Structure 1
Amino acid sequence: MPKLKTNKSAAKRFTTTGTGKVKRNRSNSQHILTKKNAKRKRRLRQSTTMDKSTLKSVKRLVPTIF
């Protein structure tokens, strides 16, 4: 069987927490920030965990972090 290859772009975007959940950064925080209010921009700075529906595809892209 061939070696497992990690998708490097996905590996840079996702990390695991101590309990095994996958952490990610929020989108929509890079540009066109003038029309977004301050409360929304503060929330976008914080990271969040992946939901269960997309976890399977992340596991396939980054098998080394699990």
Structure 2
Amino acid sequence: MKSLNNVKVGDVVKVIKLYGEGATKRRIMDMGITKNSEIFIRKVAPLGDPIQVNIRGYELSIRKSDAELIEVE
């Protein structure tokens, strides 16, 4: 399993599956991260958290702990 927090800057990945339960999974989906959506990794903060991505035409910063719940290819 390759999660979003392991992707390098500049890569474009496709969401395969979302893990997590309840409010956590719902929050990730509310941000626009759903199955089959494409994510471009723009940059990562100097200490690795948060990760800035581009999805569905807007920029989003996501915590590393939430990025671990997103399986990508």
Q: TM-score w.r.t. structure 1 length?
A: 0.29
More helix by share: 1
Q: TM-score w.r.t. structure 2 length?
A: 0.27
Whose radius of gyration is greater, 1 or 2?
1
More strand by share: 2
